[in-house]
Amino acid sequence: MKPAARLGALCLALCCLGGARGLWRSDSHEWHKLIMVHHWPATVCEEVKKHCKDPPDYWTIHGLWPDRSEGCNRSWHFNPEEIKDLLPDMRIYWPDLLHPSPNGSLHLWKHEWEKHGTCAAQLEALNSQKKYFGKSLALSKELALNSTLQKLGITPSTYYQISDIKDALVSVYGVVPKIQCLPKQGGEDVQLLAQIEVCFSKDLRLQNCMEPGEPAPRGLEARPAASLGLEVCQDGILFYPALNKTNH
């Protein structure tokens, strides 16, 4: 091969390598922790009103989100065939509260994979659709949020100090969670418990979501909750609402 041709081939190879590297390592796709998000159907349905249909009366998975990164590979589309074995558990623990349809929760799972899963796939433990959704289910089961809250005596139809809920969860998990609320609405005089986030490091070890005194996050990490009108709970009292099935 002539020198000029060799140089051209080398440049092409380097460009391709750089492009592949950029897919995962560019600043826009760097992330530092995973956020395991559960939301409370009663509050979500209070926010979206008529969109909910037969919501469950237990905490459900919203998603497993890398912080500060989304949509890392827009050509890696969701394929439900790859998670066929997981579907029985997915329907129970990861239902789509906002878009009930004949196709079940495919809308939500597609969104979660293409927005968040393609970024989480930087990790070998999450580098396929089956691994991503399977590990999300496993982490949720390990956290056992529903039974944990019950054992702590934290139950619906009750008012709590936000600090008491946070401290109780720290006593079990050993890390600081992030707790989000639906802010006071119109004539309402109290915020509603809506979402609980527990965070993991890249080696899937529990870590603090928020350090004591840390301000509320901004940017990509804050957007998913904002899309539902949720905010990090303000210090003080919140209400943990019961599901009113007659309204849904």
| pLDDT confidence tier of residue 243, bands split at 50, 70 and 90 | confident
**Measured between alpha carbons, how far is 134 from 145 in angstroms, rounded to an integer?**
17
Q: Which long-range contacts (CB under 8 A, 24 or more apart) does 14-19 make?
A: none
Please tell me whether the overall predicted TM-score, pTM, comes out greater than 0.85 for this model.
no
CATH superfamily of 30-247: Ribonuclease T2-like (3.90.730.10)
124-133 confidence digits (pLDDT tens) = 999 999 999 9
What pLDDT does residue 13 have?
40
**Residue 82 · residue 129 · CB < 8 Å:** yes
One-letter-per-residue 3-state SS of 112-138: HHHHHHHHHCCCHHHCCHHHHHHHHHH
Six token digits for residue 154: 């934290």
Would you name the residues annotated as active-site residues? 62, 112, 116
